[in-house]
Amino acid sequence: MDSLLSGLRAAGEPTRLRLLALCAHGELSVGELTTILGQSQPRVSRHLKLMVEAGLLQRFREGAQVYYRITEDSDAKTLARTLVDLLPGNDSELNSDLAGLDAIRQRRAKLADAYFNDNAAHWDEIRQLHVAEAAVEARLLDMVGRQKIETHVDIGTGTGKILALLSERVERSIGIDTNTEMLTLARTYLERENIKNAHVRKGDMYGMPLEDGTMDLATLHLVLHYSLEPAEVIAEAARVLRQNGKLVIVDFASHQEEQLRSEHQHQRLGFGDREILQSMLQAGLQPGPTEALVGDPITVKLWQGIKQ
């Protein structure tokens, strides 16, 4: 009862209802919310603080920016969504806010398109060296299985494509990446694909902002070859898995394409089975069957481990 009353009191003000409605559409920074509402940042921040304290919103920092979204707490989330659903669809102020939100999204999309255009040649060059993405993603889905998964973390999520790929098989997903620009791309991609059960956070693959034993599935999709200490990344993935949780690694088998190291910052030229499986065992994971998708000249491997 107390938490319900606290949430109602926090939301019971016009500006706070407007903020709640906007945050129901995705993650927004203080600056973006200030721009949409046309109010001062201190004023907007005070309203946001009250709703965070009441549990309706979540606050998180990403570099110099602070973002807000609807809480993940089930009871408070239900209240927040219910209040948003009760808002009148013909309210001129709310519709103006949504138009401002659309302008923010268009600005993000232009930045994303510019980034992809600038880097398309880089990605296409690497893709030509191994098997088609569709084949890799199909095998990843097979390894994950069809049983509904409650919690999922995609480590080094990049553009968020794996979050979208697995969105129908998980209840809640989080993507972790250290690159702020990539996180912006991921948010734009998830919005374009209308993915509501996934979000992204800034974090390091060696020390993720997640508690021990909270994830049912962890994925490392073409990320491990960027790591100087892959065994530490695997150990960190194992740390956040619950008992019987699964880690799936998709990466390159050992190869000799030296230009990927010199031109594209790959720290490792793929991996052998022995190294990956030994790292899993050291991290408390029981290795499962591996799969190989043969490419020319690079083969893609899929490894899996279960938390003991």
Burial (CB < 10 A; 0-12, 13-18, 19+), residue 117, is exposed
pTM: 0.76
Report which of 116, 96, 120 is spatially closest to residue 108, judged by C-alpha positions.
116
- Confidence category of residue 7, pLDDT binned at 50, 70, 90: confident
Q: 């998964």: which residue's tokens?
A: 149
Select from 91, 214, 98, 208 the least CA-distant residue to 149: 214
In this predicted structure, the answer to whether residue 134 has a pLDDT above a threshold of 80 is yes
Quick one: how far is CA 109 from the chain centroid?
17
Selected residue with higher pLDDT from 82 and 174: 174
Q: Which domains does the chain have, with CATH numbers?
A: 2-101 (1.10.10.10), 129-307 (3.40.50.150)
Averaged pLDDT, 46-75: 85
pLDDT at 81 over 80: yes
Residue 253 is classified by DSSP as B
Would you state the pLDDT for residue 76?
Answer: 84
pLDDT digits (tens, 9 = 90+) for 17-44: 999 999 988 888 899 999 999 999 999 9
**Residue 122 CB-half CA count within 13 A:** 12
* Predicted pLDDT at 115: 58
Higher pLDDT, 136 or 180: 136
Whole-number Å distance between alpha carbons of 262 and 245: 36
